[in-house]
Structure 1
Amino acid sequence: MADQLVKVEDRTLKLTNMEKVLYPEAGFTKGQVIDYYARIAPVLLPHLKDRPVTLRRYPNGVDGQSFFEKNVARHAPEWVRTERLPTPGSSKGNEFLDFVVIEELATLAWVANLAALELHVPQWRIGNDPDLLVFDLDPGPPATVVECCQVALWLREELAEGGYEAWPKTSGSKGMQLYVPVEPGELDTWTYSRKLAERLAREYPRQVVATMAKAQRGGKVFIDWSQNRPAKTTIAPYSLRARPQPTVSTPVTWQEVEACDHVDDLTFTADEVRARVEELGDLLDYG
């Protein structure tokens, strides 16, 4: 299929290589990636609002090489919003980078056309302290998302005792995350998350680990509290993942977490997520 110019709201952009297969096992094309993001935009865009995005691009599909892109591509349309933000300690020595901020459908379609399958965002909005406390639950084989669900339930109980409500979503890969909305400046999310993770690791030493050392994770769930560092990002809700199938980081209900007894129970593809949103709306609508 030839390149095509399309009108997205009041923007014009060029879409290229629409028939290129990016998920070989599923036969899922770049055109389908763009279509998914366009259709899921009403629930995705609010979670990206005012957050600088780190793109993970797969120009040759999920079986090919990928790269993270923080700095906006040089050929970006002039209407793409960017924000110059400090990046101290950058591995490439850059003190500042110009991040893309996805605030409209056209920008979302543009990054999808770059084969940016994964969208990663921090727990803060530009110019503000964190408004999210995040726990990233990473299972060490042979543990799976099933074991993550039990740890998530323990975390929910601990958080509730502190007066906080937790919202679960799958990572779209092997684990899951809990989001806890907070008022900016209300909480030292870094210290709070570390202490809570370490306490659970002491209470449930056979199931939980709170240290980075991979050698200690076998069969346990690592509660990654480091996602609350300002420089860290987490996969955005409704983002695709670069897995054999076009799976999605999917908000789920606590009833689904409680009932999960197989990996398939909490694995959702792009088509399934679109259907869920049509039926359930945004399960991460913090209200």
Structure 2
Amino acid sequence: MLTVTVPDQTLRDRLADLPVDLHTWDLASADGAPDGAVDLVVMPFMAPASTLGVLDGLPVRAVQSQALGYDHVADVLAPDVAFANAAGVHEAATAEHTLALVLAAQRDLPRFVGEQVTGDWDQRFAPGLVGRTVVLVGVGGVGEEIRRRLVPFDVEVVRVASHARTDGLGPVHGVDELADLVPGADVLVLAVPLNGGTRHLADGRLLAAMRPGALVVNVGRGPVVDTDALLAAVRDGRVRAALDVVDPEPLPADHPLRTTPGVLLTPHVAGRTTTMTDRVVALLRTQIEHLAAGDPLDHLVDLRRA
């Protein structure tokens, strides 16, 4: 019988019908580990990679994350332990949140909401989204879901990935072309994982090349944007920002990003919908079936290339 650990009682209850030896373990300490070998350890949602340090030396076969990101996991997890991310769980919800950020910023909703309280009635024009050009960096699961949701808004979507290519939807530009693309962008959406090639991808030089008043949206990882450079650009009125991820994170209560006009913030909640658990449970059931059949897990991450 397979031994599986889950981080909370909700998941344990939802998987209780499966023929596995099921344990609740939040990875807070090694003391909570079940005796003997563990076939699958499910991480707590949004737990940092450092959480996996508790597995060092324990007989664990595989780890399943409830998140898409896997930055720093290779630094902590033993190379003989398989690691799978939660592909298929968060892409649609993240894309939905991305569109909410874009629309809120482009229609000036934060200021209108504030004026609802102050009593102002300012019928000003807002940039809007129709007819705009969106440069979308990231063509993976999240990026594709964002693209699909942007198309009905009558925008031009310019896709960017690590390498230039052409697929069934048309051209994909290489990231080395980004500096030449952003001067024509009304909105820049960053939907990429964090790695050596994406850290501070949006730096001072890139932001300076953007069209005045353009919107920078980050739903990837906070360090994809150089925070100091972004703050300077927003304060100078060169760009605006709508961010679900920031650096540092969590954002200190007194951080200037919170109070700088032109910045819209949400606290890394793009994937947090009340239907998320349903998708996590479906993924876990599939993964457990794979393990029972001796098949590889879905969505395995090659940490050697992470």
Mark yes or no: TM-score above 0.5. no
Q: TM-score if structure 1 supplies the norm length?
A: 0.28
Larger Cα-atom Rg: 2
Q: TM-score if structure 2 supplies the norm length?
A: 0.27
Task: With a CA cutoff of 8 Å and minimum separation of 6, indicate the structure with the bigger relative contact order.
Answer: 1
Larger proportion of helix: 2
